[in-house]
Amino acid sequence: MQKAESNEWVEMKLVDREVGCGHPVENVIVLKNNSGNKVTFRITIESKFTQRDDLIEWHISLLGAAKKEESFVSPAENKPFVSEISLESKETKEFKVVVTTPKGGFKKDIARFSVRVEHDNGSVTQEMQLTLIPVIVAVKTTVGNEIPVSRDLAKKSEKDKEERSATYKSATNEILAIMAPKEVKGYVFVETMHPDRIPYLGKDIRGYKGEVKGEIAIEEIEHYLEPKPAVTGLELGALIELIDGPFKGERAKIMSIDAAKEEVTVQLIESLVPIPVTVNAEAIRMLDTK
């Protein structure tokens, strides 16, 4: 829900949001001194939390003042953020209150912020709620290793959770889900509450090539959630490479396609004697013949 309020002295717009960990959320405040005298504005930000770990901190900063002012707040250390700003007669200035979400919170943790601006002629108060949600990041892999990398990431994440649980009972698995669409070569998608830890989990995994900067909107990949038949896009006579089974690495030509069983019969190209081989459509890769 969007909240906006303005008068001849203060303009504010705060927006409730669902946001991932480690994100800065900017909120614009415009202060206007409409008098003929110098006026001091007092900005107070109070916080309330609903979160699993009382020690997890949120960062508040005020940008645009003479010097950057900042504070860390949490359920365990929750003091109001207070700043005073003086404007000369008829001066107008824009500031930004930036709330940065914690790097390692829990799903559906909530922070509520009340922002109050007071001056000699009155005050304005607004509230904003931020709710932590998972984010989706893309991980680069060597082509052909998308499934092994996904499997190894899942195993390492589970082991990491077990190790952290020994000292921190609320520890959760850093990876909530992994998707490796067949149509996407060299990438897998990871849902997580803590994207900063994915490079650590991927370290030393064979075929892992690093995390892509930025996040992926679910709308960009949701069409992959409906699996297509493995034979989609295959054509008779097309050249393919076998990527699994006893003939792995061999090139072949598609001789027939059984859509019901999702199987194809291929003929090995480099064999001295033409050998028809029936394999699952998942075990082949189309070759670029252009």
pLDDT at 8: 86
By residue count, the chain amounts to 290
- pLDDT tens for 122-148 read 999 999 999 999 999 999 999 999 999
Between CA 224 and CA 184 the distance in angstroms is 9
Between CA 243 and CA 181 the distance in angstroms is 16
pLDDT at 5: 53
Q: What is the dihedral of CA 199, 202, 206, 207, to 10 degrees?
A: -60
pLDDT at 271: 81
Burial of 2 (0-12, 13-18, 19+ CB in 10 A): exposed
pLDDT at 270: 84
Q: How many CB atoms lie within 10 A of CB 24?
A: 12
pTM of the predicted structure, to 2 decimals? 0.73
Strand-by-strand arrangement of the 251-258 sheet: 276-280, 263-268, 251-258, 239-242, 284-286
Q: Going by DSSP bridges, is the β-strand pair 110-119/69-73 parallel, antiparallel, or unpaired?
A: unpaired
pLDDT at 6: 56
Q: Which contacts of 105-108 are long-range, i.e. CB under 8 A and separated by 24 or more positions?
A: 105/21, 105/51, 105/53, 105/56, 105/132, 105/193, 106/51, 106/52, 106/53, 106/56, 106/132, 106/170, 106/172, 106/193, 107/132, 107/133, 107/134, 107/176, 107/193, 108/132, 108/133
* Mean pLDDT for the stretch of residues 276-282: 90
- pLDDT tens for 2-23 read 444 557 899 998 999 999 999 9
Judged by average pLDDT, the poorest of 29-33, 277-281, 282-286 is 282-286
What domains appear along the chain, each with residue ranges and CATH number? 2-132 (2.60.40.10), 137-225 (3.30.70.940), 239-286 (2.30.30.30)
pLDDT at 282: 86
Q: What is the dihedral of CA 276, 280, 282, 283, to 10 degrees?
A: -40
* Residue 260, C-beta contacts closer than 8 angstroms, at least 6 positions apart: none
pLDDT at 1: 46
Average pLDDT over all residues of the chain = 90
Q: Which amino acid is at 164?
A: R
